[in-house]
Amino acid sequence: MRVALAQVNPTVGDIDGNAAIVAHRYADAVAAGADVVVFPELVLTGYPPEDLLLRREFLERAKSAAEKLVRETITAAATALIGAPTMTGETVFNSAIIASRGKIHAVYHKMCLPNYGVFDEKRYFAHGAKALLLDIDGTLAGVNICEDSWEPDGPHRPLCISGARLILNLSASPYHRGKAGERRKAMASVCCNGRAFFCYTNLVGGQDELVFDGGSFVLNDDGDVIASLPQFVEDMLIADLPLAANGKRRKTSRKGAAAACIVLRTLPDEKPAIPPPAVAPVLSDEDEVLKALVCGTRDYLHKNSFSKALVGVSGGIDSALTAAIAAEALGQKNLTGLVMPGPFSSRETQSDAETLCRNLGIEHHVIPINAAFDVLIRSIQPALGRRPAGITEENLQSRLRGLILMTFSNATGAMVLVTGNKSEAATGYCTLYGDTAGGFAVIKDVPKTLVWKIARRINEQAHRELIPETIIKRVPSAELRPDQKDSDSLPEYGVLDRILKAYIEDGASIAGMAAAGLPEIEVRRTLDLVDGSEYKRRLYPPGVKITPRAFGRDWRRPLTNKYRSSR
In tens, the pLDDT along 132-162 reads: 999 988 889 999 999 999 998 889 988 888 8
Helix axis angle, 370-384 relative to 391-412, nearest 10°? 130
Q: pLDDT-derived band of residue 58, with 50, 70 and 90 as boundaries?
A: very high
The answer for residues whose C-beta is within 8 angstroms of residue 122's C-beta and 6 or more apart is 113, 115
Task: Mention every residue, 6+ apart, whose C-beta is less than 8 A from residue 34.
Answer: 2, 3, 4, 78, 238
Q: Are strands 139-145 and 309-312 parallel, antiparallel or unpaired?
A: unpaired
pLDDT in the model for residue 269? 64
Give the span between the Cα atoms of 400 and 181, in whole angstroms.
45
Helix residue spans in 195-315 (DSSP H): 285-303
Q: Which helix (H) or strand (E) holds 113?
A: none
If DSSP codes are grouped into helix, strand and coil, which group holds residue 41? coil
Task: Examine the residue annotation and report whether 130 is marked as an active-site residue of this protein.
Answer: no
- Cβ-contact 146, 172 below 8 angstroms: yes
Using an 8 Å Cβ cutoff, are 496 and 448 in contact?
yes
Query: DSSP labels for 450-497?
Result: HHHHHHHHHHHHHTS-SS-HHHHHSPP---SSTT--GGGTS--HHHHH
d(CA 500, CA 14): 38
pLDDT in tens, 348-377: 999 999 999 999 999 999 999 999 999 999
Cα separation, 213 vs 292, in Å, equals: 7
- Residue of 41, 288, 394, 479 marked catalytic: 41
In angstroms, the Cα distances linking 367 to 116, 343, 414, 468 are 46, 12, 17, 21
Q: What is the mean pLDDT of the chain?
A: 92
Dihedral (C-alpha) 389, 394, 397, 398: value to the nearest 10 degrees? -160
Q: What is the DSSP letter of 31?
A: H
Q: How many CA atoms lie within 13 A of 257 on its CB side?
A: 13
- 460 in active site: no
In sequence order, which residues have a C-beta less than 8 Å from that of residue 271 and are 6 or more positions away? 2, 33
Give the type of residue at 239.
Answer: A
Catalytic residue among 110, 448, 501, 545: 110
pLDDT higher than threshold 50 for residue 14:
yes
CB 194 within 8 A of CB 164: yes
pLDDT at 69 over 60: yes
**pTM, full prediction:** 0.93
Q: Is 517 left (phi over 0), alpha (psi -120 to 50) or beta?
A: left
Could you confirm whether 501 is annotated as catalytic?
no
Q: In what order do the strands lie in the sheet with 103-109?
A: 103-109, 91-100, 79-88, 36-38, 2-7, 235-240
Q: How confident is the model at residue 255 (pLDDT cuts 50, 70, 90)?
A: very low
Q: What distance in Å separates the CA atoms of residue 489 and residue 391, rounded to the nearest whole number?
A: 12
Is residue 400 within a helix (H) or strand (E), and if so which, with residue range? helix 391-412
Question: What's the mean pLDDT in 553-559?
Answer: 88
* Cα(278)–Cα(95) distance, integer angstroms: 30
Q: Are 126 and 92 in contact (CB under 8 A)?
A: yes
Looking at residue 143, what DSSP letter applies?
E
CA distance 360 to 330: 12
> 519 by DSSP, 3-state: which?
coil
- Look up residue 276 and give its DSSP letter: P
Peptide bond into 48 cis (omega under 30): yes
166, pLDDT greater than 80: yes
Q: Which residues pair with 236 in a beta bridge?
A: 6
Residue 338: strand, helix, or coil: strand
pLDDT at 246: 61
Q: How confident is the model at residue 284 (pLDDT cuts 50, 70, 90)?
A: very high
**Residue 248 predicted with pLDDT over 60:** no
Rounded distance between C-alpha atoms, residue 221 and residue 199, angstroms: 11
pLDDT for 30 equals: 95
pLDDT of residue 249: 56
- Which listed residue (112, 146, 199, 430) is catalytic? 146
CA-nearest of 241, 237, 174 to 38 is 237
